[in-house]
Amino acid sequence: MIVGEQKPIDEIWEMTRNHKRVMILGCNCCVAVCHQGGTKQAEMLASLLNMRAVQEEVEIVYAHGGIERQCEHDFFVPMLEDLQKEEAVLSLACGVGVQFMAEKFASLPVYPGLNTTFLGAVPKPGIFTEKCQACGNCVLAVTGGICPVARCAKRLFNGPCGGASGGRCEINRELDCAWQLIVDRLEALGRLDDYEKLFPLRDWSCDRAGGPRRLDIEGYVP
């Protein structure tokens, strides 16, 4: 899931305070799961900002709403009439949702209410941990299902660095060494031979040389 964190209220206020009407639009998918971007959060944020407007004697009304996903056209249909009444939108979606809406409504300012942080999992309620950086070249088949890109602080591809000790990361001793986890996992699977497979050095500077990535599904008919 995509994990995000709501921007500081002061930053949001400064982005939006010069409008008369602002719709705070929640996204009820990934960022709602981490309690940052759903309809409920949009309602709470609208209340806080409307109180701020009263305190600072600024004429502005913050409305609130939400849709299932802000990255697909169909989900906007129930909100089209409401959005046409607004001067601006504060999107509580990830960066993808913000950009998608900005393209869809070319004359409507769209502001980000969240900082998109990482792709993560939920080990227990209220805790979200990074597991994937969407690098586009998945090696999990060889590393026992543990990602060295997201979980190694140095993004090393061929074993641990010289500073790891006691199964802990050199950069943050509170973290497990990702490569120690990989070795332990491969050993448990009886696949330690995979640890000897070498990956070519990766040129991270060229990773996005072709611009934004795209996936076209051949033969797909909606």
d(CA 109, CA 118): 25
* Tens-place pLDDT, residues 62-99: 999 999 999 999 999 999 999 988 999 999 999 999 99
d(CA 196, CA 187): 12
* Tens-place pLDDT, residues 9-66: 999 999 999 999 999 999 999 999 999 999 999 999 999 999 999 999 999 999 999 9
- Domain membership of residue 217 (yes or no) is no
Distance of alpha carbon 178 from the chain centroid: 22
Query: What is the tally of structural domains in the chain?
Result: 2
* Tens-place pLDDT, residues 159-195: 899 998 999 999 999 899 999 999 999 999 999 999 9
- Domain membership of residue 153 (yes or no) is yes
The domain that holds 39 is classified in CATH as 3.40.50
- Domain membership of residue 124 (yes or no) is no
- Domain membership of residue 213 (yes or no) is no
Tell me: do 9 and 92 sit in the same domain.
Answer: yes
Instruction: List the domain range (segments joined by +) for residue 30.
Output: 2-118
The first and second tokens of residue 143, run together, are 């590393």
Q: Beta strands 88-92 and 21-27: pairing type?
A: parallel
pTM reported for the whole predicted model: 0.84
Tell me: do 151 and 185 sit in the same domain.
Answer: yes
Q: For residue 187, give the nearest of 196, 177, 176 by alpha carbon.
A: 196
- Domain membership of residue 141 (yes or no) is yes
For the chain, count helices (H), then strands (E): 7, 7
